[in-house]
Amino acid sequence: MTSNFKLNRSTLVALLVIGAFLIFETSRVIGDGGAITWDAFGFYYYLKLIFVDHSLILESLDSIKPIFEKYDPSTTLYQFTTLPNGRIIVRYPIGQALLYLPFFIIAHITALLSDFPADGFSKPYDIAMRIGGLIYHFLGFYFVGRILRLHFSDKVVGITLVVLFFGTNAFSLFMGSALSAQGSLFFLVAWFIWLVDRYFKEKTNGLIIGVGCVFGLICLNRPTDFVTLIPAILWPLTIPGLFLKEEIKSFFKRKKQVFLLIGTIVFFAFIQFGYWKYAGGSWFIDSYGNPAEGLDFLSPHTIPFLFSFKSGWLVYTPLMILVLIFLIYKSYKKDRTMQVVLIYTVLFIYLASSWTNWWYGNGFSQRAMGQAYALLSIPLAGLINFAFFKKHKFSFLPAILIPVFVVLSIWQTKQFHNGVLTGETVTADYYFASFFDLYQNPENKDLLGFSHYDIYMQPNYNLPDGYELANTVELAVDEENQNLAGNEWPKGFSIPYKDLSDADYSFILFSAVFEGSPPKSAVLVTTFNHNGAYGYQGRDFPQVLVDTNFVANLYTATSVYLTPPMRSTNDKFSAYLWNRGLEAGILKELRLEVFVKSEDN
C-alpha cells in the first residue's frame, strides 16, 4: 500500500490524456448555448434569481417565457413546481448552483463589463459553465487517482484511470457536458472519500469540517447520495492498523469534532430548507411535485436497470460485469476494502433503480451510475492489477476482455451520439440488427420500441396500427345520472390498472355514448392516481373520435389515451365526463376498450 500520493509517470500521463480529451470535447461545443439546457436549466436557475432578478421569489412562470423564446433551453417548461399555495419554486436541489457559483460570478462580471446581456444565459455564462464542468470532471479523476494510490502501484492507477474514462459510460457522461449532476457528484464523492481517509489518519478539526462540507454538498446535489455516508463510516476497515469499533468510539469522544461535523452538515441543509421556507412557505417541500415519479422502494426496477436494452447499465457498460464479479469474489475472500465498496454498490444500485423512470430519460447506459465510479474504481483497479500484473492461471481472461470491452464501450458511445442507439426505444432485435452500424439504418427503424415522449410531443388522436383489443369494460349510467343538465361530474370509472391489463403500457379508448346531441363543452378526462393525479388528459369534442348512429339516435365520443409510465400496477385509472358547461344532454353509457401491442408486432 502507498500512503503518499505523487504524480508518478503513469498516473500523470493518464490524467494528461483525460484532461486533453475533456479540453478537446469542450472546445467543440463551448459557447454553443447548450450548457444551460434541460435539467441543467433548473439546477442553474437559482443563480439567475439571485444575481439577475435579485429575488428568490418567482412570481409567475410567464417571466421565464422570454428566456425560452430567446435561448430555447428545453421543449417544455418542467423545471419548476407550482405549489398548492400558488407559490413557484425551482424543482431541483440547490447544490449544483453552489458548485457553479464561482464560474457564474466570473461570467456575470464579464457580461457587465462587455456588450453581452447580463441576463444569466448569454455567451459568457455558457462558456463559464462549460469550463466549470471541465474542471470538476477532471478533478474527479484526480481525486480518484489519489484514492487508488493508497492501494495500488502507479502503473495500475494510470491504466485504471484511462480504462475508467474510456471503458464506461463516463466517457459519454462527462465529455463536454457542463452541468452534469453525475459529473459533479463523481468529483464530490471522490473528494469526500479522500478527505475521509485523511481524517481517519490525521483526525484534525480542519479535515472534519472539510468532510462535513463536502458531504453537505453531495446531499444538496442529490439527497439519495446520503448513502455515501456508509462507506465513510466503514472506511477504517480499509486502513491497516485501524479497527472500526475503536475508531467510532474515539470519534464520539472528540465532542468538538462531532459538533463541527454536525454543524457543517446542518448549515448546508439549512440552505435548501431556508429556500423552501422563504420561496415556498414551508420548511419541507416535495419539490418534484409529481406523483408520476418517485422512489419505488418496495418495487425497485433493478433487473431492467442493469440488463435492459433500454439503457441497461451492464448492457452498455459490460466492463462493469467483470468488475462486479471481481468485487464479489474479493469480498467473499474477506478483502475489507472490497467489502466496503460492495456494501455501497448494492445500496447505491438499489436506490438508483428504485426511481420510477429507471432509464433516466433518453441517456446512454445508466447515467445514474456516474458518481458510483468514484468507488467502483477500486475493484476496477484490483481487476487490472490481477489481469496484467499477477501471475495466475485465469489472469488471461480479464486481460483479453478488458480491452475488448473498452473498445466496445467507445463504439457504442459513438453509436449513441450518432443516433444509432436511441436510449429508451432500443429493443434486443434492434440492438443486434444495428450492432455494426455507425449511422442509423432506416431499415431497422421498425425494430425500435415505443417512445412515450414522442407520443406526448406529437399527440395522436387515433389508435396507432399494431394494437389489438385486450379488454372491454362498460358502465351503464343509471337514470339519476343520465340527465346532464346541471350535472358537472357524472359517474365514471376508477379501476386499478392491473384489473385492466397486464401490459407495461396500453392505449385505452374511453367512450361516452349520448342519446341525441351531446353537451358541446363536455370534456373526456382520463388520468392515473398515486397519492395524487398524474398522466392527466382532457379532450374536448374537437379532439375526440366521433361515431353517430342516426337510426338509434346515439352519438359516441371517444378519446384515445396512452397510459404513462406507472408507479405501480395498483395505481387507479380514472375516466369520467366533465360537463364543464352544465349543459343538457342524455348520457347513456361509458365504455373502456384496452388495446395492447399485437403479438405479431
Q: Are 529 and 290 in contact (CB under 8 A)?
A: no
Summarize the confidence of residues 362-376 as an average pLDDT: 94
- Nearest 5°: phi and psi at 359? -90, 0
**CA 214 – CA 252 distance, rounded (Å):** 20
**CA 472 – CA 593 distance, rounded (Å):** 5
Element counts in the chain: helices (H) and strands (E): 22, 11
Quickly tell me which residue has 392515473 as its cell: 528
**CA 251 – CA 257 distance, rounded (Å):** 8
**CA 107 – CA 116 distance, rounded (Å):** 10
95 backbone φψ class: left, alpha, beta (φ>0; ψ -120 to 50): alpha
Give the number of other CB atoms < 10 A from CB of residue 201: 15
Q: pLDDT tens digit string along 282-332? A: 999 999 888 989 999 999 999 999 999 999 999 999 999 999 999 999 999
Q: pLDDT tens digit string along 167-214? A: 999 999 987 677 789 999 999 999 999 999 999 999 999 999 999 999
Tell which residue, 151, 325, 310, has the closest CA to residue 240: 151
10 Å CB burial of residue 215 (0-12, 13-18, 19+) is buried
What's 146-165 look like in SS3?
Answer: HHHCCCCCHHHHHHHHHHHH
Answering whether pTM is above 0.85, one says yes
Summarize the confidence of residues 419-447 as an average pLDDT: 95
3-state secondary structure of 391: coil
Give the number of other CB atoms < 10 A from CB of residue 400: 11
Q: Are 509 and 463 in contact (CB under 8 A)?
A: yes
Give the chain's mean pLDDT: 94
Tell which residue, 137, 133, 169, 179, has the closest CA to residue 37: 179
Grid coordinates given for 18: 483525460
| Domains (range + CATH), the chain | 9-286+320-417 (no CATH), 423-449 (no CATH), 463-597 (2.60.120)
Which pLDDT belongs to residue 541? 81
Grid coordinates given for 290: 409529481
**CA 586 – CA 575 distance, rounded (Å):** 18
**What is the dihedral sign for C-alpha 456, 461, 464, 467?**
positive
Q: What is the DSSP code (8-state) at residue 516?
A: S
CA distances from 145 to 109, 142, 374, 375, 542 (A): 34, 5, 10, 11, 62
**CA 212 – CA 586 distance, rounded (Å):** 66
Among the residue ranges 226-230, 452-456, 539-543, the one predicted with the least confidence is 452-456
Q: What is the DSSP code (8-state) at residue 310?
A: T
Tell which residue, 553, 565, 471, 478, has the closest CA to residue 510: 471
Grid coordinates given for 587: 348520457
Q: pLDDT tens digit string along 3-44? A: 455 678 999 999 999 999 999 999 999 989 999 999 999 999
Grid coordinates given for 478: 343509471
Please, what's the largest Cα pairwise distance for the chain?
Answer: 91
Tell which residue, 32, 220, 213, has the closest CA to residue 129: 32
**CA 313 – CA 454 distance, rounded (Å):** 23
- The neighbouring-strand residues paired with 548 are 555
Summarize the confidence of residues 348-365 as an average pLDDT: 92
**CA 378 – CA 149 distance, rounded (Å):** 10
Grid coordinates given for 61: 412562470
Q: Is a pLDDT exceeding 80 seen at residue 458?
A: no
10 Å CB burial of residue 413 (0-12, 13-18, 19+) is buried
**CA 577 – CA 579 distance, rounded (Å):** 6
**CA 596 – CA 238 distance, rounded (Å):** 53
Q: pLDDT tens digit string along 37-65? A: 999 999 999 999 999 999 999 999 999 99
Which pLDDT belongs to residue 6? 64
Q: pLDDT tens digit string along 467-500? A: 999 999 999 888 777 899 999 998 899 999 999 9
Q: Are 553 and 588 in contact (CB under 8 A)?
A: no
Summarize the confidence of residues 414-432 as an average pLDDT: 94
Q: Are 79 and 41 in contact (CB under 8 A)?
A: yes
Q: Which parts of 140-208 are beta strand (E)?
A: none
Length of the chain: 601
Q: Which helix (H) or strand (E) holds 527?
A: strand 522-529
Q: pLDDT tens digit string along 74-124? A: 989 999 999 999 999 999 999 999 999 999 999 999 999 999 999 999 999
Q: Is a pLDDT exceeding 70 seen at residue 262?
A: yes
How far is C-alpha 180 from the chain's CA centre?
Answer: 10
Grid coordinates given for 208: 472534519
Which pLDDT belongs to residue 3? 46
- The neighbouring-strand residues paired with 546 are 557
Tell which residue, 133, 234, 126, 147, has the closest CA to residue 191: 147
CA angle, 31 then 33 then 39, to 5°: 130
Half-sphere exposure of 74 (CA within 13 A, CB side): 13
Q: pLDDT tens digit string along 505-533? A: 999 999 999 999 889 899 999 999 998 99
Q: Are 421 and 435 in contact (CB under 8 A)?
A: no
Which pLDDT belongs to residue 457? 62
